[in-house]
Every structure is written in C-alpha cells, then in structure tokens.
Amino acid sequence: MLHTFVAYVEDLPGVLTRVASLFRRLNININSLTVGRSERPGLSRLTLVCEASGEAGHRIRASLFKLENVVDVDDIAQAPSVTRELALIKVAATPQTRGHIFDLVEVFRARIVDLTSESLMIEMTGVESKIEGLIEVLREDEGRILEICRSGKMTMRRGHHTSGVLRAMGTVTEVEQSANATEDNAAAKLK
C-alpha cells in the first residue's frame, strides 16, 4: 500500500541522506519526496510517499524517529488530509497551435507562465490524477511535451491537528521568541 509520511527534520547537511538511507536499507523505493522550510526556524518539513506493506508503516515511523535529526514523524495513512503536487510542463506550440492549448489550460484550471514563439510553459497545482490528466491530454498530440517537472506530493492533515511532539515544542511564536531569547543570552554572554 501507499504510505505518506510527513516529517520535521533538522535543517542540516546530510539529514536527507539519513532519511533516504533508511528507505534504501529497507529496500523500499521512494515514490516522491518534497522538502522545504517549515513554520519553525531550523526545521524543514518533508512529505515522503512510498510503497510498502501495511504493517511496515509502524516500523518505518519508529525507525525514522530513531534518526537523531528527525524531530517529528506523522504517518498520514487514511487520515483526512489535503495532498497537492505542482507541475511545470513545457510544450512545443507555435502561434498557430497555441489556441488549443489555451483551451486545455482553462479546462484544467492551470496557468501559462512562459510564452515564446516555439514553446510555452504550463504551471499546474492539484492532486496527482488531475496533473496526470493534463499530461495525458497533452501527450495525445505527439511530440508536443518538451519537459515535465513535478514536485512530488505535499500533504497536510485537515483540521486543527498538531502532533504531541510539536505541541510539546510550543507554538511557532513561542519557539521564535525563545530562539531570540537564546540569541540575546548568547550575545550578552559574549559581551
């Protein structure tokens, strides 16, 4: 089954290797992985999607937690959540053939973000199936797609949900304040 893990990890060199290495060791292929800054200073947030047996979820989460740089791990499993993916798609299009693509983009609620006399770039955000849908339709015109860049999935639980770990770390503002305070302390100490 498809597993989706959302993790907060320290924003340090080598942390991604540690996470990836765990899946390598378990011989599990990572279907998609997105990483970026989170609401908390010093912590990145990642969404990792992989295929593994149903029971594997517990062990993967427990093993992720054993990595010293991993602060929190959520196994989204069947929980109500929103998942999105971003795709940039470059297609060959001349002024004569553009019109058709403009229509498609409209239907799929995508956007044109770059336009030249030979090509244009489509930006689309949505669930995986929508993006696949657009790509499929574009593929029907052979040779039209020049490049595809997909972000992989990003997932967030619906509703007011904070994990016990993050709650224990305090709200974002508290964290920021205490970070500032430590810096002030450090600065004071140096003087």
Site residues for another protein per CB under 8 A: 13-14, 17-18, 21, 25, 55, 58-59, 61-63, 65-68, 72, 164-165, 189
Unique residue bearing structure tokens 């595809």: 148
d(CA 155, CA 172): 19
CB of 68 to another protein, least distance (A): 4
Closest CA to 82 of 5, 152, 155, 150: 155
Distance between start and end Cα atoms, the chain: 57
Unique residue bearing structure tokens 């947030």: 45
| DSSP-assigned letter for residue 53 | -
The residue (of 60 and 120) whose beta carbon lies closer to another protein is 60
- List Cα–Cα distances, 151 to 63, 178, 181, in angstroms: 25, 33, 36
Query: Contact at 8 Å (CB) between 81 and 87?
Result: no
The residue (of 45 and 144) whose beta carbon lies closer to another protein is 45
CB of 20 to another protein, least distance (A): 10
CB of 167 to another protein, least distance (A): 11
CB of 57 to another protein, least distance (A): 11
The SS3 assignment for 149 reads: strand
d(CA 124, CA 137): 14
The residue (of 83 and 163) whose beta carbon lies closer to another protein is 163
CB of 62 to another protein, least distance (A): 4
The residue (of 97 and 185) whose beta carbon lies closer to another protein is 185
